[in-house]
């Protein structure tokens, strides 16, 4: 019987030192987290199987109505193709979007008795800064993410497959990539989650432990 099977309390939070990794992608109206509008929020929750291997579980996707305190750079629309005024987006106000986005994440953190969530992303510091800026604009106080630490798949992909662009990293890792769906928050989060799980699992033992660790932490 494997070590993971012998220890049913082995969770994704234990794998990451008490933090729950959540893969996040945002689409915005520009590159300024404070001044440019948040347009889409997406996340993919993760878990570990009986062998300690990471896999994607629940998905979250919310379209956001631009805050009156922000603007949308027309150049950004040419990149992601999101029309903020399109009624078919079914966008909600920024605070309501944050509440819908954070609720399942807080639920997982609580269920695992974890310290808090940690944001995983491709260029993760940008995604975290956008989320934090939205919280500041709306006075939202229950952000479940660590305030400054992230897990960035740019670095992980550079080390693991020698690529830093998400599309090229996914292709190098052997995954399909659909350019027509790229720059949508949910699709990019899905592919980032796929890449993160792949790299983490390859850098883990058969029981899901960190493969390069040479000793257990001091008690």
Q: How many residues does the chain have?
A: 219
Pairing label, strands 145-152, 116-121: parallel
Which residues on adjacent β-strands are paired with residue 60? 43
**DSSP output for 60-76:** EEEEBPPPTT-B--HHH
Q: How many CB atoms lie within 10 A of CB 141?
A: 6
Spatial separation of the C-alpha atoms in residues 194 and 187, rounded to whole Å: 11
122 assigned ligand-binding residue: no
47 assigned ligand-binding residue: no
Q: Looking at 51, 80, 146, 183, which residue is catalytic?
A: 183
183 assigned ligand-binding residue: yes
- State the Cα angle at 52 between 49 and 54, rounded to 5°: 70
183 among known catalytic residues: yes
Pairing label, strands 38-48, 19-28: antiparallel
83 assigned ligand-binding residue: no
Residues comprising the binding site?
Answer: 25, 27, 183, 188
Active site residues: 183
Residues comprising the binding site for Mg(2+)?
Answer: 25, 27, 183, 188
């Amino acid at each position: 019987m494997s070590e993971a099977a012998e220890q049913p309390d082995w969770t994704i939070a234990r794998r990451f030192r008490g933090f729950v990794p959540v893969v996040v992608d945002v689409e915005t109206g520009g590159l300024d987290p404070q001044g440019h509008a948040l347009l889409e929020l997406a996340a993919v929750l993760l878990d570990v199987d009986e062998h300690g291997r990471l896999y994607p579980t629940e998905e979250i996707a919310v379209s956001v109505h631009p805050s009156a305190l922000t603007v949308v750079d027309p150049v950004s629309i040419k990149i992601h193709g999101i029309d903020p005024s399109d009624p078919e987006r079914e966008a909600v106000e920024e605070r309501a979007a944050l509440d819908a986005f954070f609720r399942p994440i807080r639920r997982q953190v609580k269920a695992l008795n974890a310290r808090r969530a940690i944001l995983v992303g491709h260029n993760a510091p940008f995604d975290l800064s956008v989320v934090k800026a939205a919280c500041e604009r709306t006075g939202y106080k229950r952000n479940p993410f660590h305030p400054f630490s992230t897990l960035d798949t740019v670095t992980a992909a550079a080390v693991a497959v020698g690529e830093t662009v998400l599309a090229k990293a996914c292709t190098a890792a052997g995954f399909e990539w659909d350019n027509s769906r790229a720059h949508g928050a949910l699709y990019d989060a899905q592919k980032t989650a796929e890449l993160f799980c792949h790299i983490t699992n390859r850098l883990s033992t058969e029981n899901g432990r960190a493969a390069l660790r040479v000793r257990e932490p001091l008690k």
